[in-house]
Amino acid sequence: MTRKTGQFLLSRREFAVLTGAAAGMTLAPGFSRLAFAAAETADQIVKGKNPAMIIHNAKLAVMETPLELLRNHALTPKSVLFNRLHFPHEGEAAWYATTDAPQRDWTLQVDGLVQRPREVKLADLQRMPQVKRVSVMQCAGNGRSYYAAKQKVAGGQWKNGGMGNVEWEGVPLRKFLDDMKLLPAPSVRWLTAEGWDQPPTPEGSDFSKSYDIDDVALDHAILALAMNGEPIPAVHGGPLRLIIPGFYGNMNVKFLTRLLLMSEQSPSAYQSVGYRFPNHPVEPGQFKAGDYTPQNSRPTYGHQIKSVIFSPLPADRPGRGPVEITGVAFNDGLAPITSVQATADGGKTWVAAEVKPAASPWAWHPWSARATLGAGENNLMCIATDALGRTQPTDGLTRWNPRGYEWNGADRVVIAA
């Protein structure tokens, strides 16, 4: 008991030093760094990140934003924006620092089934007219941990902080493709975006994603060079990132190096089997993570409509009496959000929240609703609806899926008053 308490009293840094030292004695050289990394705080993994970020995977710099930090900003600053990378990057940590954009001679290759393939320099892109898009960036796995109430799903156990409201600026994609005069073949059906990052072994897939060339979402897509008014930090995909407003995080390819116009989708595992959602409801055990095919599933493209409670949170310890419930709501931007309903009594009585304007169709709307907290447990919930009648399931577990994507069940916060 005393020993356990003693361990808890160690700072994370001291704990890291201890585990690093211990690993150094028992493991081969080189492994000690990994063991060391396991106990690092966000700012030690990525320069400039808030040390209070929740670490899901230190080696891949996967980290989520506590809602206490997320709710303080209309636009999510780089210091608290969640992060997700797929490939370990030994020796590249400095490159991923949030404060520095990489100083390399970046080239975007544009090719595929085109008569005139191109190579475009970053400097050329910088000279082209730019547009701004505020858009929610959200990992498709955001909220994955809540599926555990049915059956736990492998992967980062994200709560609600795998998202942020971000301003991107860059070159409109469709205009860029037109201006390039690529002369694509009539058989072109898919646009594929490839990132610079590489899997650690040759058997691994590169990170690349494909989009239906006619998808209206591409009408608003940009080749982004700036995030929140400055060059995109390396860790968030700088110096060049494809931003498709309203699409889940994985569709927004970081470190963009290539655009391909093809008749088929990318064979990358991140397109063909990963980041997909089953076409029909599935039960645990009946459909497994290895069962995805292009026929029985679709990629996680646009955000499912979603709302999240930012306040009060249990740590705010609001007392009994009147309370203002606040939060955010967003969807894929294809239709306006028309209402957010909130309750403080587990759904017996609902109140219509005041939904404030969003910075763009793809940004989140702040909302607030008045309710009263009683003695004991108060079950807060919220549900958003849009002009297409799309709404959130009261029970998000009905959308359980083996990879735990697209959680959008009614958000729930329990407050003891």
Ligand X SMILES: Nc1nc2c(c(=O)[nH]1)N[C@H]1C(S)=C(S)[C@@H](COP(=O)(O)O)O[C@H]1N2
Q: Cα 270 to the chain's mean position, in Å?
A: 15
Q: Which of residues 233-252 bind ligand X (CB under 6 A)?
A: 236-237, 249-250, 252
Closest Cα to residue 102, out of 305, 321, 313, 257? 257
Selected range binding Mo ion among 86-94, 136-144, 293-301, 392-400, rule: CB under 5 A: 136-144
345/414 Cα distance (integer angstroms): 10
Candidates 84-92, 96-104, 227-235, 338-346; binding stretch for Mo ion (CB under 5 A): 84-92
In angstroms, give the least distance from the CB of 66 to ligand X: 15
* 95/318 Cα distance (integer angstroms): 43
Please identify the residue of the shown chain whose CB is closest to the bound ligand X. 195
Q: Which does 236 bind (CB under 5 to 8 A by kind): Mo ion, ligand X, none?
A: ligand X
Query: Out of Mo ion, ligand X, none, which partner does residue 277 contact, by CB within 5 to 8 A per kind?
Result: none
Binding mask 247-286 for Mo ion (x = CB under 5 A): --xx------------------------------------
Of 53 and 384, CB closest to ligand X: 53
Residue of 43, 197, 212, 345 interacting with ligand X (CB under 6 A): 197
Q: Which residues between 139 and 158 bind ligand X (CB under 6 A)?
A: 139
Structural tokens at position 243: 């931003």
Q: Which residue has the tokens 């210091």?
A: 79
Comparing C-alpha atoms, which of 292, 293, 380, 307 is closest to residue 340? 307
Question: Which pair of tokens denotes residue 254?
Answer: 């970081």
How many whole angstroms separate alpha carbon 34 and alpha carbon 295? 39
Least separation in angstroms between residue 32's CB and ligand X is 25
Q: How far is the CB of 249 from ligand X (least distance, A)?
A: 3
SS3 at position 20: helix
Write the DSSP assignment of 287-339 as a string of letters.
S-GGG--TTTEEE--BPPPEEEEEES-GGG---SEEEEEEEEEE--SSS-EEE
- Annotate each residue in 77-116 with x if it binds ligand X (CB under 6 A) or - if it does not, as one string: ----xxxxxx------------------------------
254 contact, one of ligand X, Mo ion, none, CB 5-8 Å limit per kind: ligand X
- Look at residue 144 and give the partner it binds from Mo ion, ligand X, none, a contact being a CB closer than 5 to 8 Å depending on partner kind: none
Residue 258's binding partner out of ligand X, Mo ion, none, with CB under 5 to 8 Å set by partner kind? none
DSSP 362: T
- Nearest Cα residue to 382 out of 352, 339, 341, 329: 341
Between residues 176 and 196, which has the closer beta carbon with respect to Mo ion?
196
Question: Which run of H or E residues covers position 284?
Answer: none
* Shortest spacing between CB 27 and ligand X, in angstroms: 27
Tell me which of 102, 112, 170, 195 binds ligand X, using CB under 6 A: 195
Element at 150 (helix H, strand E): none
Q: Give the list of residues 6+ apart from residue 260 with CB closer than 8 angstroms, or none.
A: 111, 112, 191, 192, 193, 194, 266
Query: CA nearest 43: which of 99, 90, 87, 88?
Result: 99
Binder to Mo ion among 56, 78, 84, 241 (CB under 5 A)? Answer: 84
* Residue closer to Mo ion (CB basis): 96 or 367: 96
Residues 272-331 that bind ligand X (CB under 6 A): none
Task: Determine the Cα–Cα distance for residues 142 and 159; give it in Å rounded to an integer.
Answer: 6
Q: State yes or no: residue 207 binds ligand X (CB under 6 A).
A: yes
**Candidates 51-59, 89-97, 244-252, 306-314 — which segment interacts with Mo ion by CB under 5 A?**
244-252
- At residue 22, φ and ψ (nearest 5 deg) are -65, -45
Count the site residues for ligand X by CB under 6 A: 19
> Where along the sequence are the contacts to Mo ion (CB under 5 A)?
84, 139, 249-250
Binding stretches for ligand X (CB under 6 A): 81-86, 137, 139, 195, 197, 207, 236-237, 249-250, 252-255
